[in-house]
Amino acid sequence: MGREASRSPRRTAGIEQRPDSRQIRWLARGLGQPGGKLPLFDEEGRRVEFRIVRACLRAGWAEPWFSNPLKPDWEVCRLTETGRAALAAYAVVRVDFTARRAGA
């Protein structure tokens, strides 16, 4: 076999890639944001790990949205329809507990 044949792609045809728990947490935060904007920082104020962002971009769950002129090395991303479908497969939904019931 040639050198190219020995390299296997990250995603094998027929095998669906699934987000891990950290990726699900990051992607889910885009559900309630305008345009599906994904956060640059986690819930504790730390920057989201580059590996999480890259893995989600490669899988097609997130996509680059726009460049940040103040911080060009920070990639602003948004949730894709594929990302929404991946979250739906895990029954991750955004629930608004602040909404009032009709008639209440």
Tell whether the model's pLDDT for residue 12 goes beyond 60. Answer: no
State how far the Cα of 75 lies from the Cα of 53, in Å rounded to an integer.
Answer: 9
In the structure, what pLDDT confidence band is assigned to residue 26 with cuts at 50, 70 and 90? very high
In the structure, what pLDDT confidence band is assigned to residue 13 with cuts at 50, 70 and 90? very low
Phi and psi (nearest 5°) for 2?
Answer: -80, 170
Instruction: Spell out the residues 6+ positions from residue 10 whose beta carbon is closer than 8 angstroms to its own.
Output: 58
Tell whether the model's pLDDT for residue 30 goes beyond 80. Answer: yes
In the structure, what pLDDT confidence band is assigned to residue 38 with cuts at 50, 70 and 90? very high
Domains and CATH numbers, the chain: 17-89 (1.10.10.10)
Is-above-0.85 flag for pTM? no
Q: Tell me which of 6 and 85 has the higher pLDDT.
A: 85
Phi and psi (nearest 5°) for 37?
Answer: -55, 130
